[in-house]
Structure 1
Amino acid sequence: MRRTSSTRQKATGRLVVGVAVAGLLAAACGPVDADESGGGASSPITGDGEAGPVVVEVERTEPSPREDTRPGLTTFRDPLPELPEPMIDLSQLRSGGPPPDGIPSISNPVFHAASSVDYLAPTSPVLAVEINGDARAYPIDVMVWHEIVNDTVGGVPVAVQYCPLCNSATVVDRRVEGRVLEFGVSGLLYNSSLVMYDRQTRTLWSHFASRPLYGALGEAELVDYPSTIVGFEEWRDAYPDGLVLSRDTGADRPYGTNPYPGYDDVGADPFLFEGEVDGRYTAMTRMVGTTSGAAATAFPLLELRAAGAIETQLAGEPVVAFWVPGSASALDASEVSGGVDVGATGVFSPVVGDETLTFSAIDGVITDAETGSTWNIFGKAIDGELAGAHLDQVVHVDTFWFAWIAFHPDSSVASAAGD
């Protein structure tokens, strides 16, 4: 459950598909550590021989033993009657190129103290999450090559996930029905999005919907935690004592480079997506989506960027979306940090105490009309009468229109002019 086209375009689409395939195969073919789950432990060293960024020891939660169950991972082409009914038509699963674990997830992550990190540009996008006061940043220049990090944040075993093909980040609790799962990359795609599998039962899971697609855990559901993709400088200013996922992963990858350059072209075609695209927007239009129960709404990024803050109703409750500048598109240029500035987003309940606040933004500075307090992208008041107050963060996803509407076909669209 959740807590709260022209000839040129067609040619571009074909080019992008080729780029995506090449990127996936490059990710699959590089040498990796003998441990299929990745992860390293050595301390980075700078070029002059001095000690590099400071490694911080972190808590680890051991995964549950692997079980002797019939695996959804290897039987999805011929489903077994003894396994729960598949959640989808399994013929819609597509191979993305690499085999299972060809893109290696990370299960023994190494972290650096944020204050000691000197290898990320200010606008380098990082996947940010905070649980129980434990704030961590997972650079997209690492995530784009691994897609999943099995971690423990604030005492909670989580899977931190990034799907390059739909540009979506999610964080889920790995505890399911008395087990602590460990997730790997299956090599399969559903609606062009990452399909995970757990190593305990080898059930297939949707990264986007946090639900099993097929396997022994077919009736389970993952709990989501809020996260956002934000520029490194913005994140470190908010969390100077936070932790940053190191490039010391046990795998040999050209971290910092983008294996999918140009993929987020608004006129391109998504890789291996065969569904119908709602014609209100192009397939690759960026959206900020959120759900509550069966209700779903999306904020078009360009409109949110222009407004800075957009308010709407979701399942009868008010929500507000924020945008600030300072985060590069990970999928634009040949270097992850060199992409155009697409900014960062957050979605929140605008209620503080018993008052519903009204927000606006000028030049990336977000304020509320009621007190004039200033707020950051993490929903914290950083100046003014309400300084120190926090808005309740709502789980949201930054993604492309084709992916959002494929998983939420009845979604509304919120805009600055009203729904």
Structure 2
Amino acid sequence: MKTYWIKLPPRTRALGVFLATFVLAMLGFSITGGLEQVDLLFGIYIGGLTTYFLARWGTFATRVALILPGQELTTYEKFRKNPGRRRHGPAEPAEFIDPDEANEELLPDDRVIGVFHNKEAAAYPLAALGVREVSNEEYGDTPVVVTWSPVTYSARAFFAKVGDKDAVTLGAHTHTVFNSPAMPNNDGSTFIQFTGQAATGPLTGWSLNQIPVITTTWAAWEKAHPDTEVMSTEGGPEADVFENYYANDRNGIHSLAPKDKRLHGKDIVLGLDIKGDIKAFSYPGLIEKPLVEETLGGTPILVLQERSSATAVAFSRRIDGRTLNFKGQNKNPHRRSAESTASGEGERLDYEPWLIEDKQTGSSWRAITGECIEGELKGSQLKMLPAMTGFWFAWSRFYQDAPLFGAIGEYEESTPKR
């Protein structure tokens, strides 16, 4: 019965609620005495008011059929329209500049999304991509779409191909699922940014394959990729306009408090889905234990948190048929509170990359890139995994009941140390 109800058109459900409320009001008035004209008007008022507030809460929103990651049964989730007027990003196509020009636009601690694919590196400042939402690119001959959702704090890049179909070209969203943008394709399909699933249109049921991205500071990315291209902030805001939102308690545009209380709603996690084996690693937990070795989906993995750049990343520990184990090599200092935003305020130390060392050969590796820079394995590269950042209120809805490293109570919230 519930499935039948939510599959009805939104206006039909709204009319049903209005009529049911009106009839109940009339029954109540008739029990207390005879019906008068004022009772009819009051019944209409009660029915209208009830319907209005339920509409505001999304009760009558269109539903889309989804099979959530790690689940087997189809669920029908709200496909909600953005409230208020639509905000348009910069009218001009994005310009890409070299690092010297980028240093005139960006502060060392400004946050960027970094993509390294087909031996090409590009950085997308949150200030630039936050208002554009999506950038349709080509890395070599490979069509790639790079996306950012500040509402769910999710950076995603996808191969822009589905089977033998034409390349996908995504645009700015007008609807959301669990607060995640549903980005429209040219053919009328919409893809959920958080998971890459097509929720509506002719490609419904297909999913885009992810490629690895990281969210880090401009200083850290430039140090790792000195020849990178950078999306210019020209034509848009110079700073990330969503910084206040990141710091407040609001869980999305359509407020969505997490049902799963293992973390606070705005805690950030790094999630992995390897062959259906799913696990999330909380940033608070990784700050306290910044090097984690596990096996997930049959793959030996390494999850790292470079504290100075607030960068979490995941790699496979397998190199040329053997599995490596790692330990920290140099200091991995905590960030001070003044360094926790991209505002440019407060004193900062010069960025120095965190290095790790494998126990088998003693070779040195750069933590945020997985590149071996010294020792027997110099020149080797750990395979970066397509890990997913996101606020807990969104992750825990899409990846329900998935295992979690670093839940509240598993780590101590200590005062940042130098």
Asked if 1 retains the 8 angstrom alpha-carbon contact of 2:213 and 2:387, the reply is yes
Aligned AA (1:109): A
SS at match of 2:174: strand
Indicate the residue corresponding to 2:165 in structure 1: 178
SS at match of 2:156: strand
Say yes or no: does 1:120 pair with 2:120. Answer: no
Asked if 2 retains the 8 angstrom alpha-carbon contact of 1:98 and 1:187, the reply is no
Counterpart Cα distance in 2 of 1:187 and 1:288: 26
Asked if 1 retains the 8 angstrom alpha-carbon contact of 2:144 and 2:158, the reply is yes
SS at match of 2:244: coil
Say yes or no: does 1:367 pair with 2:367. Answer: no
Query: Structure 1 residue 387: deviation in Å?
Result: 2.0
SS at match of 1:181: coil
Asked if 2 retains the 8 angstrom alpha-carbon contact of 1:151 and 1:158, the reply is yes
Relative to structure 1, the CA distance from residue 203 to residue 262 in structure 2 (aligned partners, 3 Å threshold; closer, same or farther) is: closer
Q: 1:324 aligns with which of 276, 285, 306?
A: 306
Counterpart Cα distance in 2 of 1:353 and 1:117: 37
Relative to structure 1, the CA distance from residue 300 to residue 189 in structure 2 (aligned partners, 3 Å threshold; closer, same or farther) is: same
Asked if 1 retains the 8 angstrom alpha-carbon contact of 2:102 and 2:232, the reply is no
Indicate the residue corresponding to 2:265 in structure 1: 283
Relative to structure 1, the CA distance from residue 384 to residue 219 in structure 2 (aligned partners, 3 Å threshold; closer, same or farther) is: same
Counterpart Cα distance in 1 of 2:322 and 2:88: 47
Indicate the residue corresponding to 2:176 in structure 1: 189
Q: 1:391 aligns with which of 376, 382, 394?
A: 382
Unaligned runs of 5+ in 2: 1-59, 68-73, 333-353, 412-418
TM-score by length of 1: 0.69
Query: What is the Cα-based RMSD across aligned positions, in Å?
Result: 2.7
Asked if 2 retains the 8 angstrom alpha-carbon contact of 1:183 and 1:197, the reply is yes
Query: Structure 1 residue 275: deviation in Å?
Result: 6.3
Indicate the residue corresponding to 1:379 in structure 2: 370
Relative to structure 1, the CA distance from residue 288 to residue 259 in structure 2 (aligned partners, 3 Å threshold; closer, same or farther) is: closer
Asked if 2 retains the 8 angstrom alpha-carbon contact of 1:166 and 1:400, the reply is yes
Relative to structure 1, the CA distance from residue 145 to residue 315 in structure 2 (aligned partners, 3 Å threshold; closer, same or farther) is: same
Asked if 1 retains the 8 angstrom alpha-carbon contact of 2:113 and 2:155, the reply is yes
Say yes or no: does 1:352 pair with 2:319. Answer: yes
Indicate the residue corresponding to 1:109 in structure 2: 94
SS at match of 2:172: strand
Unaligned runs of 5+ in 1: 1-75, 328-342
Counterpart Cα distance in 2 of 1:402 and 1:234: 28
Indicate the residue corresponding to 1:402 in structure 2: 393
Counterpart Cα distance in 1 of 2:90 and 2:180: 16
Relative to structure 1, the CA distance from residue 159 to residue 311 in structure 2 (aligned partners, 3 Å threshold; closer, same or farther) is: same
Aligned AA (2:144): V
CA deviations on 1:25-47 (whole Å, 9 max, x unpaired) are: xxxxxxxxxxxxxxxxxxxxxxx
Query: Structure 1 residue 409: deviation in Å?
Result: 0.9
Deviates more, 1:255-264 or 1:130-139: 255-264
Counterpart Cα distance in 2 of 1:305 and 1:220: 36
Q: 2:151 aligns with which of 159, 165, 170?
A: 165
Query: Structure 1 residue 106: deviation in Å?
Result: 8.3
Query: Structure 1 residue 360: deviation in Å?
Result: 2.3
Indicate the residue corresponding to 1:253 in structure 2: 236
Asked if 1 retains the 8 angstrom alpha-carbon contact of 2:145 and 2:170, the reply is yes
CA deviations on 1:114-152 (whole Å, 9 max, x unpaired) are: 244222111211111111101111111111111111111
Q: How does 1:288-299 map to 2 (within 5 A)?
A: 288-299=270-281
SS at match of 2:220: helix
Q: How does 1:48-63 map to 2 (within 5 A)?
A: none
Structure with higher RCO (Cα < 8 A, 6+ apart) = 1
CA deviations on 1:278-315 (whole Å, 9 max, x unpaired) are: 11111111111110132110111122122221112212
Asked if 1 retains the 8 angstrom alpha-carbon contact of 2:77 and 2:177, the reply is no
SS at match of 2:204: coil
CA deviations on 1:319-361 (whole Å, 9 max, x unpaired) are: 111111343xxxxxxxxxxxxxxx1111010111232111222
Q: 1:214 aligns with which of 193, 200, 215?
A: 200
Query: Structure 1 residue 263: deviation in Å?
Result: 2.5
TM-score by length of 2: 0.70
Deviates more, 1:183-192 or 1:106-115: 106-115
Counterpart Cα distance in 1 of 2:91 and 2:148: 12
Query: Structure 1 residue 245: deviation in Å?
Result: 0.8
Q: 2:213 aligns with which of 221, 224, 227?
A: 227
Q: Percent identity?
A: 24
Relative to structure 1, the CA distance from residue 307 to residue 91 in structure 2 (aligned partners, 3 Å threshold; closer, same or farther) is: closer
Deviates more, 1:362-371 or 1:181-190: 362-371
Indicate the residue corresponding to 2:296 in structure 1: 314
* Structure with greater proportional helix content: 2
Indicate the residue corresponding to 2:129 in structure 1: 143
Query: Structure 1 residue 97: deviation in Å?
Result: 2.8
SS at match of 1:138: strand
Counterpart Cα distance in 1 of 2:157 and 2:221: 17
Relative to structure 1, the CA distance from residue 241 to residue 151 in structure 2 (aligned partners, 3 Å threshold; closer, same or farther) is: same
Asked if 1 retains the 8 angstrom alpha-carbon contact of 2:62 and 2:80, the reply is no
Asked if 2 retains the 8 angstrom alpha-carbon contact of 1:128 and 1:229, the reply is yes
